[in-house]
Amino acid sequence: MLARTLVKDPADLHAAQKIHRSYSSGRLSDYPKGRIKAKVAANAEAFNIFAPIDLSTATVGIYKEINELITEYPPLAADAAYAKTVRPVGVDVAAYKAPSSSLASTLQAAIAPAYTAALDELILDSATVVNGWSVVLGVGDITHNPIKRAAFVIDGPGFQVEKEALYYSMGRLDGNALTGSNTYTLTFRRASCLG
């Protein structure tokens, strides 16, 4: 689980930290005993458990996996309507059957373009460059837009709408690609970003 606590303003920070320290977890069968208190860490190690999703090399078996997930976790009404549109290729059905060889080759051929073109293009088209940094602005509620939702979670879960978080990235500096063989320094000028 990736949990976030929204901080309204600087005066709210102490309350948010108190909420963070109150988090605990444990098996549902042990509730309310057997709870494990949260450990506060000052680094980003926790984010390393979320590996980027790479579907570019996925096989046709992913359609069976999608079908199993839809069966195990029935979608909300708006998503259910979208899921029904893929029934002709055997997804969102009660009993999944392996596609015929001709359909399987068509489905396989559709995976890489959908991942590399549609999803990546959606993110790039949404990005604005500010002083060399790319930032995705204007992100609203993507709950019922499956393509947008998929695009925004490729690099990990928990993408937030603009009013809650902004994500900056930079791949080039002064026209040169950033590389691990160089050392870079980020300097932040003290400024208030809260109005």
Condensed to tens digits (0 to 9), the pLDDT of residues 47-69 reads 566 666 777 788 999 999 989 99
Which pTM does this prediction carry? 0.58
| Band of residue 16 on the pLDDT scale cut at 50, 70, 90 | confident
Residue 112 scores a pLDDT above 60 = yes
Alpha helices (H) along 49-159: 62-72, 77-83, 101-113, 120-126, 146-152
Q: What is the pLDDT of residue 195?
A: 40
Model pLDDT, residue 128: 84
Q: What is the mean pLDDT of residues 65-79?
A: 88
Query: 21, 1, 24: which is closest to 13 by C-alpha?
Result: 21
**107 or 112: which leads in pLDDT:** 107
**pLDDT (0 to 100) of residue 48:** 61
**Mean pLDDT computed over 121-131:** 69
User: At residue 101, does pLDDT exceed 50?
Assistant: yes
Question: If you average pLDDT over residues 172-186, what whole number do you get?
Answer: 86
State whether residue 16 is helix, strand or coil: helix
| Residue 98 in this model has a pLDDT that exceeds 80 | yes
One-letter amino acid at 157 equals P
Rounded Cα–Cα distance for residues 26 and 35 (Å): 5
- Match 């000052």 to its residue by tokens: 42
Residue 99 pLDDT class (50, 70, 90 cuts): very high
Determine the Cα–Cα distance for residues 92 and 89; give it in Å rounded to an integer.
Answer: 9
